[in-house]
């Protein structure tokens, strides 16, 4: 194990310990696996699982499974994707320690475009969702801006340590248009050209309150 990987693991351990000590506060944790497999020069397959908890682990808030098929309009860029998501949620009933359970089916279309400015990789994601809830139907627009900045190398390659910053805004198409805003900052490590791990903190700003989420993520871009 390289010294860089040891340093990353130590930082990840500190973040985990800090979040574990904060379990009794309004801090949750999201474990996420995000896969994007290249099929050929144009087509790609997206696959994703997120396990979200009200605390560090064990108190389920939401299970999200998302998949989709994408197509590059230009070489390795400007990707359009059609996808489906299943979301199982277990929110607490207000003023009690009891939970309710809801299931949502979601169809979405998205467009991703990438830019490179020196060391800084920039990704813009535009997503339109049609949400089929148990007793309702809603539509929502999302815009995400993501920056990845390698720290110890010039590019995102094997053994690179990098900083990750993002902001995502959610807009409903119906009344009460503002849905939420997610602001995130983290640090990651590239295990290889195709696989990286990342940990960070996200602040989710809702119309009536806000929540802090600790996140641990694995990115898998191994091609088929």
For residue 192, count CB atoms less than 10 angstroms from its CB and return exposed for 0-12, middle for 13-18, buried for 19 or more. Answer: exposed
Question: DSSP assignment of 131-150, as one string?
Answer: EE-SS-EEEEEEEEEEEEEE
The Cβ of residue 177 has, within 10 Å, a number of other Cβ atoms equal to 11
Q: What b/e readout covers 117-155, taking b as 16+ CB neighbours within 10 angstroms?
A: eeeebeeebebebebeeeeeeeebebebebbbebeeeee
- CATH class of the structural domain 3-220: mainly beta
At 126-185, the pLDDT tens digits run 999 999 998 899 999 999 999 999 999 999 999 999 999 999 999 999 888 999 999 999
Q: How far apart are CA 76 and CA 93, in angstroms?
A: 45
Give residue limits of the domains in the chain: 3-220
Rounded to an integer, what distance in angstroms lies between the CA atom of residue 134 and that of residue 37?
Answer: 32
pTM here is: 0.86
**pLDDT tens track for 36-92:** 999 999 999 999 999 999 988 788 999 999 999 999 999 989 999 999 999 999 989
Q: Tell me which residue of 184, 102, 99 sits closest to 146, measured CA to CA.
A: 184
Decide if 202 contacts 52 (C-beta within 8 A).
no
């Amino acid at each position: 194990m390289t010294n860089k990987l040891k340093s990353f693991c130590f930082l990840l351990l500190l973040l985990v310990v800090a979040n574990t000590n904060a379990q009794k506060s309004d801090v949750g944790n999201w474990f996420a696996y995000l896969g994007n497999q290249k099929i050929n020069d144009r087509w790609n397959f997206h696959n994703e699982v997120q396990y979200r908890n009200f605390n560090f682990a064990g108190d389920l808030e939401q299970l999200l499974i998302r998949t989709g098929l994408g197509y590059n309009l230009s070489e390795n860029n400007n990707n359009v994707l059609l996808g489906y998501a299943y979301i199982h949620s277990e929110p607490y009933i207000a003023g009690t320690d009891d939970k309710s359970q809801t299931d949502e089916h979601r169809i979405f279309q998205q467009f991703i475009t990438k830019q490179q400015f020196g060391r800084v990789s920039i990704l813009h994601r535009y997503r339109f969702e049609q949400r089929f809830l148990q007793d309702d139907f809603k539509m929502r627009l999302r815009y995400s801006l993501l920056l990845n900045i390698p720290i110890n190398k010039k590019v995102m390659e094997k053994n690179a340590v990098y900083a990750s910053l993002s902001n995502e805004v959610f807009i409903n198409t119906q009344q009460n248009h503002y849905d939420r805003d997610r602001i995130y900052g983290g640090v990651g490590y590239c295990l290889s050209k195709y696989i990286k791990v990342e940990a960070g903190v996200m602040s989710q700003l809702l119309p009536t309150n806000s929540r802090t989420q600790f996140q641990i993520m694995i990115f898998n871009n191994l091609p088929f």
